[in-house]
Structure 1
Amino acid sequence: MTTRGEEDVVWSGSWVAKRLGVGLVGDEGLRELLGLALRRNPKRAHLLVSNVLGKHVPQRPAVVWRAGYDLGSRVRDLLGADECRRAVVVGYAETATGLGHSVADGIGLAPYLHSTRRPVDGVAPAGGFEESHSHATSHLLLPQDPELLAGTGPLVLVDDEFSTGNTVLNTIRDLHERYPRERYVVVALVDMRSAADLGRLDAFAKEIGARVDLVAMASGTVDLPDGVLEKGQALVAHHERKPSAGNLPAVTVAVAEPAARPGHTRVELAWPAGVPDGGRHGFTPAHRARLEAALPAMAAQIAEALTLLDTQPGALTLLDTQPGALTLLDTQPGALTAPDTQPGRLPRVLVLGNEELMYAPLRLAVALEDAGAAAEVRYSTTTRSPVLAVDDPGYAIRTRLVFPAHDDPADGPGERYAYNVAGAGFDAVVAVVDSTADTPELHAPDGLLARLAAHTRHVVLAVVPSYVPENHAPEGPERPSMLPQPLRGPAFSSYAPEEVGWLLQDLSDVELEAPTEEREEAIQSGGAHYAESLPVEYQPSEQYQQLFQAALTASAARIARAVGTVTDTVLAERTPRPVLVSLARAGTPVGVLMRRWAQYRHGLELPHYAVSIVRGRGIDANALRWLAEHHDPADVVFVDGWTGKGAITRELAEALRDFPGFDPEIAVLADPGGCVRTYGTREDFLIPSACLNSTVSGLISRTVLRADLVGADDFHGAKFYRELAGSDVSGHFLDTVAAHFDEVASAVDADVKELLSADRTPTWEGWGAVERISEEYGIHDVNLVKPGVGETTRVLLRRVPWKILASRGAGADLDHVRLLAEQRGVPVEEVDELPYSCVGLIHPKYTRGATGADGRAVAQ
């Protein structure tokens, strides 16, 4: 190869431009971003070779990563934070897998998926499309979570260049038929559309009724003269018949004998368990956070491998002069080809990725660079794309290494390539592959490792474990899964679709409401279960609505603190990638707030679902089956609003005995009953979402379980009260609490630190108090004693209450309780030594015969 000095003054596209008449016209600096080469491809003659993609041209890793990250930042500015939380980023295999992932990093809040040409047994495609100009056209989309592409938020599509637009249109057309949405964003390093293609994107957007934006680093056009394809093919054939110096290492130079060069050093990277090796099956912000925490240690592993002392005569000695630093000394003067013998030069290290595996090697290379390694680090990857190599400073692909495929590709065995590696003066090459690609072909005499060893002093093989989604179906009798996808707003509930998926069936058109007195009589007589009907939705008076607003204003910061505390406790103790499953419906607003906290504080996009659990009947088994099919049960964290006496806690533990793998411990906002270990607070204070029914819970009713409505293969049911939209405060409640996240952040940190070192063993103090009250007041049924401000509110809204016990001196937290009690003619009795703010009592001897002063039935 000629020296780097020549390359500084010659555009790396001039060779092709001169011989084929191809012109590159566009933004200032476009030629710095792109060079030109000739494809060995019958569909397109030229190849735009990016200098910042990290595929064909070794480049500083920080430059490669920052190119994508900055594009992602522009997308974030375009969409805004709220839309970014709903977005999904899709990159194209193979060249843009790392670029797309870096764009997702820049957006910060969006999960990432890239297309793949490697099928995976047991993973059904969620989509596919064709890349018409490529030598390998078929793309698969294989997300682990089938719901990943089902949202209605923006879809961000990332490729290295945007030329004809065919690939993007094929993708959108396929996905829009399955998962229609209102907005798409196309991201590319360069927009190279011709004048004829400029209007296609807008016309297509109008056709499907969606908005399509384009974000690119630079734009321009490629002028192609008539007959360029035939001329290009002839030029390739001419140079292939008479190989240039650039092609010689690949086709005519034998690999050095093993005795002549040292073998490679193998590194089994300490890759974080459960983190995918890339975006083939989806990569979430939670995965990103765990990877970034592990990168420094893995970079240190690579640095340590590079500091091994090789004592063979004439070999390179590598010395470590500071932690994480790398120094390479040539022990024989003149052993390196000029200009690399210059005194005081830094050694050159290439981190080489493998085809679609671009992001993991890139982040490792950036981490190695950031660690202060005394080396000049570069990054590129191997490819399946055949390109002519010509050793000329005016040509973008100077040399080509050829080796057999080693990752059991979908299209069978064949050649693979590494460009601009041979002759580039790299003192060491770190080849990064996933474990699927760590095959005998990789280690063969003509394999990649041997090819690299012929052109560098030292080869390090770093292996990343291949991530393959597993089916975590629960043990027990197998049954075919015919379960539907979760219901989402706005079709079901007033919550945004990404806030929660309801594992319920919609019974909105079924008449389920019964007068409260009739329900109470049927429930207590044993004639019906409370979950077989619904109470008539309580419509609050203007006075009560004002009380709700005052309570929300007074307690929002307190709730925000409890939300942050319980969420960060879950992340610290349970799993770094929780799947939040709230117990509908009281747990649902809490689950949404926990999800929002995770986004705000940690950039995590947590899945959140709502399921039904019914006292005496257990949790919805079909909902558990659906969760087990789509997520790791070990990551599921059940969420509820508060504990009373712990009946639901016990119910859940009992129900999960038939579903191993799920953790039965509930995470709650408030645990006044001392029933759980994971909570935001153990104080019994007013959570305003308890003050109302559906109008603070996404307009969803409590859940229904009735044999004539819920079959063996159905989810439990619920109603969506669309007609109450004018009274809905669900979003207002969430936004008011979330507005206090910033001010409580430091207090949350202190709370979590204290909790993690405290003894939080459940005391079940509340259960003991309930048993005592049941006997003391002659009720003799703990199910009719409802402790805590939340449960007492439910009694007043849904049941026929007999009496309210209030802790002596309880303040404003009980204002709404006193108001409801007054409206219903229910006495409030102040008592001492009550572990709760209040307790609601339902008398066991209820009949329909007597009425109170307000005309309502009362207990006899």
Structure 2
Amino acid sequence: MNNSILSDYYPKTNIHTFNIVENLQVTVTETANPFHMPVESLFSMAARINKKRSFLFVSKVLGKHIPVNPYTPLLSGAALGLLLYQELNRDGEAAQGWMEELLNKAVQGLIHPEQAEDAYHALLAARLTLPSPVIFIGFAETATALGHSMYNIFAGGASYIHTTREDIPDLESVVSFEEEHSHAVDHLCYALDRGLLSGSEPIILVDDEITTGNTAVNTIRDIQSKFPRQEYVVASLLDWRTGKNIEVYQELEQELGIRIRSLCLLQGSIEVQGTPLLHAQEDVARLASAAEVPVVVTHVRDELERLPVTSKDSYGEINGSPYVKCSGRFGIVSQDNTLIDQAVTRIAAKLRSQREGPRALVMGVGEFMYLPMRIAAGMGDGISYQSTTRSPIHPERRPDYGVHSAAAYPSAGDPEITNFIYNVEPGQYDEIFVLLEREVPPERIKPMTDILQKLAGRKVHLIVLTSEDSGNGGAGD
């Protein structure tokens, strides 16, 4: 039987209708809302330029398409961690009053961003541990930080890895599957230690949104064929499975002899009417009239271990610059968290000292979300955070619409892939800090910095993380 913490809550019948664009309407019916959060605190809507899915829930708590307080996406993962803790300790101490207090803090922090920092630190201070070890897997690209922040809420007995779309020919993927509805379907999983998945621990699959559940089903099938175990948990911010999609989990349980639990911040159903004819676009005039500001390149020593492997792009070109070993892409365990925390503190202090204005935006790039998010959280007041994305979204300037502006450019990691920066207006931020996990050729990053030079009010900081002292290509440190 498919067991879910959501069964503990009375179903909701709140219905929300979104007229997204001409000839596209989405109706959302809540069926469970364990934190009793208003939907407008969780997401807005936009039209997605994708033949497989015409709409997008633009999350307000994820840090992807909308600039947010950096503690908000950290707290969203931690809130899912609380639900997991409660689910796996149903007959134990999770029922005590202090757990209710933590849940309330999480909810208030998500609804009121100014309370997110205090709520997040309160959750970390609780030093939660689960009754047995677990493995977290975050889905690329959008849920890499969500999965990491969910994992990080636990003080011990946890491990984490996120899937990736990057081709790393030096390593063998231990898990491979497809996300059928996505614009980028292939997922790979480069666990340096195959023992990470070879035990019997429950696996927690973390995604920002579950619509059909097919991605989780494909993942479970592949893992179970190589690393069989008894229990899986599928965690997400939003869960829109109904009818047959829910039955698929139950059928898979019976077929494989496993148990699958589900938990989320909001569960419901969606009904879509219409199919708009949209094309990717950007507001060229908006940027054409903006003045350009300087770009300063800074190499920041983080003292983190590097993994000397290469990546290959769609053209077959090789980048030999090493990866950060403990980013989450290659697998980490709870014992690694102290080193990560120390590195984050060092980098945040360095970048905080470089700030010149009261408003700054810190940006992650693609899958590299969690470390930039953590660094942003330590850079002081007036900081917003978001990541670039490869998801093509139609922009419209309406108060009730989720994406007001868009800027497109070829990815520095793979020029065949178009990346986007959404919802950043010229001069909105005094400075923009872009954090890169590894070196890329200057000509590859230039299309992105050309855009950022017109978005930032005073300066663009291109921050390259490095494990040792290094020059700055003449840019100054």
TM-score by length of 1: 0.43
1:199 match: secondary structure: helix
Q: Is the 8 A contact 1:299 1:367 kept in 2?
A: yes
Q: Which residue of 2 aligns with 1:353?
A: 364
2:87 match: secondary structure: helix
Q: Which residue of 2 aligns with 1:367?
A: 378
Distance in 1 between residues matched to 2:146 and 2:418, nearest whole Å: 24
**In structure 2, what residue type is equivalent to 1:181?**
R
Q: Is the 8 A contact 1:267 1:305 kept in 2?
A: no
**In structure 2, what residue type is equivalent to 1:120?**
I
Change (3 A) 1:424 1:212: farther
Q: Which residue of 1 aligns with 2:192?
A: 144
Q: 1:70 aligns with which of 73, 79, 85?
A: 79
TM-fit CA distance, 1:377: 1.1
1:268 counterpart = 2:299: yes
Q: Which residue of 2 aligns with 1:431?
A: 434
Gaps of 5+ in 1: 1-11, 307-317, 319-327, 329-346, 467-860
Distance in 1 between residues matched to 2:336 and 2:298, nearest whole Å: 22
1:448 counterpart = 2:448: yes
Q: 1:20 aligns with which of 24, 35, 41?
A: 24
**In structure 1, what residue type is equivalent to 2:193?**
D
**In structure 1, what residue type is equivalent to 2:240?**
M
Q: Which residue of 1 aligns with 2:68?
A: 59
2:264 match: secondary structure: strand
Listed one character per residue, the Cα deviations across residues 176-198 of structure 1 (whole Å, up to 9, x for unaligned) are 01011011011101111133422
1:162 counterpart = 2:163: no
Q: Is the 8 A contact 1:76 1:106 kept in 2?
A: no
Gaps of 5+ in 2: 1-15, 90-127, 306-323, 468-477
Q: Which residue of 1 aligns with 2:53?
A: 44
2:66 match: secondary structure: coil
**In structure 2, what residue type is equivalent to 1:265?**
V
2:366 match: secondary structure: coil
Distance in 2 between residues matched to 1:51 and 1:442, nearest whole Å: 30
TM-fit CA distance, 1:163: 1.2
1:173 match: secondary structure: helix
TM-fit CA distance, 1:85: 4.4
TM-fit CA distance, 1:416: 1.0
Change (3 A) 1:354 1:13: farther
Task: State how 1:660-809 maps to structure 2 within 5 Å.
Answer: none
Q: Which residue of 2 aligns with 1:294?
A: 343
Aligned alpha-carbon RMSD (Å): 2.4
Q: Is the 8 A contact 2:136 2:204 kept in 1?
A: yes
Structure showing the higher strand proportion among its residues: 2
Change (3 A) 1:177 1:455: same
Task: State how 1:152-191 maps to structure 2 within 5 Å.
Answer: 152-191=200-239
Q: Which residue of 2 aligns with 1:379?
A: 385
1:103 counterpart = 2:109: no
Distance in 1 between residues matched to 2:435 and 2:17, nearest whole Å: 29
Distance in 1 between residues matched to 2:151 and 2:88, nearest whole Å: 13
Q: Which residue of 2 aligns with 1:207?
A: 255
**In structure 1, what residue type is equivalent to 2:283?**
L
Distance in 2 between residues matched to 1:13 and 1:32, nearest whole Å: 16
Distance in 1 between residues matched to 2:168 and 2:378, nearest whole Å: 30
**In structure 2, what residue type is equivalent to 1:406?**
A
Q: Which residue of 1 aligns with 2:462?
A: 461
Q: Which residue of 2 aligns with 1:821?
A: none
Distance in 1 between residues matched to 2:185 and 2:151, nearest whole Å: 24
Q: Which residue of 1 aligns with 2:6?
A: none
Higher RCO, Cα 8 Å, sep 6+? 2
Distance in 1 between residues matched to 2:199 and 2:449, nearest whole Å: 43
Distance in 1 between residues matched to 2:392 and 2:131, nearest whole Å: 37
Structure showing the higher helix proportion among its residues: 1
**In structure 1, what residue type is equivalent to 2:448?**
L
Change (3 A) 1:305 1:15: farther
Change (3 A) 1:380 1:31: same
TM-fit CA distance, 1:115: 0.5
Q: Is the 8 A contact 2:304 2:343 kept in 1?
A: no
Listed one character per residue, the Cα deviations across residues 394-428 of structure 1 (whole Å, up to 9, x for unaligned) are 210110111111013xxx62321011113471121
Change (3 A) 1:63 1:351: same
Pairs aligned (count)? 390
Q: Is the 8 A contact 2:298 2:464 kept in 1?
A: yes
TM-fit CA distance, 1:376: 1.6
Q: Is the 8 A contact 2:212 2:245 kept in 1?
A: yes
Change (3 A) 1:428 1:172: same
Listed one character per residue, the Cα deviations across residues 568-624 of structure 1 (whole Å, up to 9, x for unaligned) are xxxxxxxxxxxxxxxxxxxxxxxxxxxxxxxxxxxxxxxxxxxxxxxxxxxxxxxxx
Listed one character per residue, the Cα deviations across residues 624-664 of structure 1 (whole Å, up to 9, x for unaligned) are xxxxxxxxxxxxxxxxxxxxxxxxxxxxxxxxxxxxxxxxx
Change (3 A) 1:441 1:166: farther
TM-fit CA distance, 1:277: 4.9
Distance in 2 between residues matched to 1:118 and 1:254, nearest whole Å: 33
Q: 2:42 aligns with which of 25, 29, 33?
A: 33
Distance in 2 between residues matched to 1:350 and 1:141, nearest whole Å: 30
TM-fit CA distance, 1:30: 1.9
Distance in 1 between residues matched to 2:408 and 2:341, nearest whole Å: 33
TM-fit CA distance, 1:262: 3.5
**In structure 2, what residue type is equivalent to 1:440?**
P
TM-score by length of 2: 0.77
Task: State how 1:837-852 maps to structure 2 within 5 Å.
Answer: none
Q: Which residue of 1 aligns with 2:419?
A: 416
**In structure 2, what residue type is equivalent to 1:441?**
E
Q: Which residue of 1 aligns with 2:92?
A: none
**Higher CA-based Rg:** 1
1:129 match: secondary structure: strand
**In structure 2, what residue type is equivalent to 1:432?**
L
TM-fit CA distance, 1:465: 4.2
TM-fit CA distance, 1:272: 2.8
1:404 counterpart = 2:410: yes
Listed one character per residue, the Cα deviations across residues 525-561 of structure 1 (whole Å, up to 9, x for unaligned) are xxxxxxxxxxxxxxxxxxxxxxxxxxxxxxxxxxxxx
Q: Is the 8 A contact 2:326 2:336 kept in 1?
A: no
Q: Is the 8 A contact 2:17 2:26 kept in 1?
A: no
1:295 match: secondary structure: helix
2:429 match: secondary structure: coil
Distance in 2 between residues matched to 1:99 and 1:162, nearest whole Å: 14
